[in-house]
Structure formats: structure tokens, C-alpha cells
Amino acid sequence: MEDKFQWYKPGFIPALLFLTGSIVLSFSLTGDGDGSNEVTQLKIVSQTALFVMFFLLDEGLLGLGLWNFAAPLAALEGGNRFCHMLNNYWYKTHGSALQSPVSFPVLMWTVMIVAALAAFALNHFLRRPVPSESQALPLLSATMAKSSWVYWERVEAKWMDGILALLLLWLFWMAFTLNTLITWVPFLICGILLLPIIGGFHYSISRERIQLRWGWARIPLLNLQISDVDEVEAMESGVFAQFGGFGIRYSVIRGWGFVLRNNAVCLKTGKGRRVAFSAGNPAMVAELIKSAMRQTGKTATGAPAIEAPKHKPRRRRILLLVIIILASLAAFLAVPAVVYLAYKEPGVVFESNAFKLKGLYGVDIPLAEIAEAELIDLHEMPRISIRTNGISLSKVHRGYFRTTAGENIRLSINSGSNPVIRIVDHQGNAYYINRKNADETRQIFDRIRSNRNL
């Protein structure tokens, strides 16, 4: 049984309008031959990919019956991208930042919040039509009485396959745009490993066995003899809560789960092994397995037999759970930490033989290696094509970047401040450095010149 994709999603109207506006503005920001085409096109592609990802995520949350936050998030993200695109367009046509009664960040967040509230209201008041599904159990075919028969089904979540496909495209795109072996090889390996698992779970049931395979590559996951099955249960809801998510999961109560929907068929073998897998109609599949068990001379038991294990979780499981929680917390806290470090201006250190910037993506340049040092205007900087290993947040850019001419450069700049120090060493490596305060930038430049006698 196939789940029908719900295309009617009124909550995505604000995000779609923002995406359309960004695409229209992008035509005015490209075509000048100044190197900005690639960057603008990349922004449009990423905004479109995020829109599609949120659209697919919305479908998954809809199937779970959870509070749906995908459309408001898409509106927030789309509003952010559109406001920055509009600001770039205004700067190009008027030579200054977007003029408004309030500052640009206040204007941007106002637009984003209003759009998110509009998306929530559209989702709430323009409810989606939910197709009715018959839950009646179909009569088992008379052919099951024959000596051999096979029931086959593929269980997939289109929204999850869509997100995996977007992730796969991003991994391959990163692999083919990064220019150093140590950076592009991991992306390529991850993409190759991800490719075979797209396509959901495929399971087959016969009089002898239950087999489960994964993805279009049909990776074997389960091969269970019918004669080993003692208990069968159809679980019509609550799978997401029991297993803590979708995919290949483990639950203390249910054992290993191969689940992509909020329902499952739960099995228990005579050795106490527990397995669960999603099905289009779990009740029908459970009856099918019970019929196969009867054909092998076994008596099938139902749901009451599957209970929580009486023993307490082992210390190793508790330790693993604590490690997972701590790792997740560390990853969550790492994001604001990186943002803080990126916005914090690096410390400047002059040693007897070197000039250093301390902090995130710091710089260490021996004074004897400096071939050129000059003050340039911000608009004289080369156009950036892509960030290869660094961070860009609003006007702050630090790390390794590649220009439209193919040159690899180091940046530690605030694009809202002028001027910029350009340093070139004897190996031809170029560094662009400035501070938020223009006077501090000039003072650093004067010290470099005096220490190096340039």
C-alpha cells in the first residue's frame, strides 16, 4: 500500500513567495561579468534546496501527526535569504545599504517573524484534505494453501528519500568543488556510502522465511525462519515514540526496528530475539505471518505475549545513553560557541619575528616572509567564488576562500569596515585582514611596515 504525497501545503506560500522574489532579484545581480554570478547562483540553488527539504520534512511530520514546524521554519529561512538578496540589489543599484526607518537586522527579523506567523496561520486555518483509507483486512488469497507462495512489499518514506537525495547531491557537489584531496575525499566517500540506502526497505514473506533488505542495492538486513517465530503483533501507531525516530533503530522493549512509518509488525523468536519492521497494512501482514506459522504447524500468539523485558538495562547501555546525550549537548552548544568565536575579533600579536592573529582561523605570518603589504579599499578585493574552509556570518569572513580567478586566499575581515590590509608572502600566498574599527586597521598596518621596513 502506497502513501499518497500531500502536495496541498498552504503554509509554504510565504516561503515560495520569498524564493520567487530571490530568483527575480538574482537576474539583476548577475550578468555583469564581475565574478558575482557564481555566488548569486549558488545562493539561489541553496535556497531552493532548503525549500524542498522543508517541504519534504513537512510531509514526514504530517504522517506522524506531530505539531508541524516545517512551514514556519521555511518562511524564516526564506525571509532571511530574500532580505539579504534585496539588500545586495539595493546596494548595487543605489550604492548604499537598504534604507529603512529601522536598522537592517530589525527589519529582517520583523519580516521573518511575520512570515513565520503567516505560515503557521495558513497551516492552521486552511487544513489539508486527509485521504480516507480503508483499514479492513483483505481476505487472504486461496493460493496460500499451495505449497509455495511469496508476499513482497516495499516500504518507503518519500519525504525521507527526498531529504537523502538532497544530502547526496550536496555531498557530491562539495566533493567536486573542493580542490584539496584531504577535503573532497571525505565528502565523496560519504556520498558513495549514502547512495545504496535510498529506496526504503524491501521485505518478502513466504511459508519458510521472512527476508528484509535495504535500499535500491538490496542490502540484506534480516533473514528469519518462520519456524523460529513465536509471537506476532500488529502495531498501528506509536512506533516513532517507541524507537525514538525512523530508520534502523533499537528499542529496549521492541528490539531492533526497521521502521519508516508510525506503524510496524513486531516479532519475537523462541530465543527471545525481537524484531519490528514497517508495513503498508501491519494487521494484514501480521495475519499473513500467523497463517504461514500455522502452515508450519506452529501456534501463533498475538500482542499480549510481547512485553517489556523484566531485567533492568545494563550499565553499558546506560553509559552509552549518557555518552549520546552528552555528545548531542556538546554539538548543540558548539553552534553558538562557533558563532561567538567568529564574531569575536582575533587578538593581534607582534613578536620579534612574526605577526599573528589569535582566534578562530588565526594567522601566523613570519615577518621575514612578507613580500608585499599595502592598504587597499574594500571594493578592490578580489571577488570570492566559494569558501573552501572557513566561516561566513553576516559581515564576518574568516578562513580559506577561493576567488573567481581560481586563487586561494586567506581572509580575516569585516566587510562592513574599510580599509583592508593586503599581505603577500614570498610563496605568493595572499592574506586580507582588517578590524571593525578602521583606525585599528591602520595602526596594525603601520606596525607591520615599521617592523618589516617595507
Residue 162 and residue 198: Cα distance in Å, rounded?
A: 9
Whether 159 is in a domain gets the answer yes
Question: HEC states along 358-394?
Answer: ECCCCEEEEHHHEEEEEEECHHHCCCEEEEEEEEEEC
Name the residue range of residue 322's domain. 312-343
167 shares a domain with 32: no
Q: What CATH number is attached to the domain comprising 274?
A: 2.30.29.30
Whether 188 is in a domain gets the answer yes
380 shares a domain with 292: no
41 shares a domain with 18: yes
Whether 141 is in a domain gets the answer no
272 shares a domain with 164: yes
Give the domain-ending residue among 125, 160, 186: 125
Q: Are 4 and 126 in contact (CB under 8 A)?
A: no
Q: What is the pTM of this model?
A: 0.44
295 shares a domain with 159: yes
Q: Are 247 and 259 in contact (CB under 8 A)?
A: yes
Render 204-220 in DSSP notation, one character per residue. EEESSEEEEEETTTTEE
Reading the block at residue 300, the C-alpha cell is 501463533
Residue 76 and residue 108: Cα distance in Å, rounded?
A: 10
290 shares a domain with 168: yes
Question: What is the phi-psi region of residue 305: left when phi exceeds 0, alpha when psi lies from -120 to 50, beta otherwise?
Answer: alpha
Whether 373 is in a domain gets the answer yes
Whether 133 is in a domain gets the answer no
300 shares a domain with 154: yes
Whether 140 is in a domain gets the answer no
DSSP H helices, 98-205, are 104-125, 158-177, 181-194
> pLDDT (tens digit, 0 to 9) for every residue of the chain, 454 residues total?
444 556 778 888 888 999 888 888 887 766 544 444 555 666 777 778 778 877 877 766 665 555 567 788 888 888 888 888 888 777 777 766 667 777 778 888 899 899 988 988 887 777 554 443 433 344 444 445 555 677 888 887 776 777 777 777 776 666 555 544 455 566 667 666 666 667 788 888 888 889 888 876 778 888 888 888 888 888 888 888 888 888 888 888 778 888 888 888 999 888 888 899 988 888 888 888 888 888 776 655 544 433 434 444 445 555 655 665 666 566 555 556 666 666 778 888 888 788 888 877 788 888 888 888 899 988 888 888 777 777 777 778 888 888 888 888 989 888 888 899 999 988 888 999 998 888 889 988 888 888 765 4
Q: Which residues pair with 373 in a beta bridge?
A: 423
CB atoms within 10 A of CB 393: 11
Residue entry with cell 564574531: 343
186 shares a domain with 94: no
